[in-house]
Amino acid sequence: MMVAAGDVAVNGFRAPQVCGIIGITYRQLDYWARIGLLRPSIRDAQGSGTQRVYSYANLLQLQVIRRLLDVGVSLGAAHKAVECLRGPDGRAPDVDTRLVISDGGSVLIRSEQELSSLLRESSDVLLIVLDIGKVILEVDAAVAAARQAKQV
């Protein structure tokens, strides 16, 4: 999707498109941006009448937030998960081979091998595991469906 930003064209997704792709309301997205949970990396709102423009990496981060909140992880823990996923380019180098693991309060980003070890060490802890590779596939499918429906 090309979004005009003055005379410069940038790749990105406007807020209504993001809401459709991720499955959240505009009110949620706006709130998350206002509290600093996740600000758009391409263009933030600059006052009334301007639009936020989100990157593909932002879509992945938003999907992680949504999925964690859906299973009862706190907003603070979801924020920590997104912070762990961010690298200089918005993605950790091997993010697609990582798992987000949470006990509902704290968040760890680990590999499958580390998960096995963690499960052996923890006996009575409920862990929430989110496979980032699957999140990428979900977001890719939602973007493709939106493009096919000409929403992006």
- Tell me the backbone φ, ψ of residue 70, rounded to 5 degrees: -60, -30
Instruction: Give the separation between CA 53 and CA 17, rounded to whole angstroms.
Output: 10
- What length is written for the chain? 152
Per-residue pLDDT averaged across 68-88, rounded? Answer: 77
Per-residue pLDDT averaged across 3-26, rounded? Answer: 75
Residue 124 maps to which CATH number?
A: 1.10.1660.10
Per-residue pLDDT averaged across 41-46, rounded? Answer: 84
Q: What's the domain count of the chain?
A: 1
Range of the domain at 99: 2-148
The 10s digit of each residue's pLDDT in 84-107 is 766 555 555 455 556 666 655 665
Instruction: Give the separation between CA 120 and CA 117, rounded to whole angstroms.
Output: 5
The 10s digit of each residue's pLDDT in 25-39 is 999 999 999 898 888
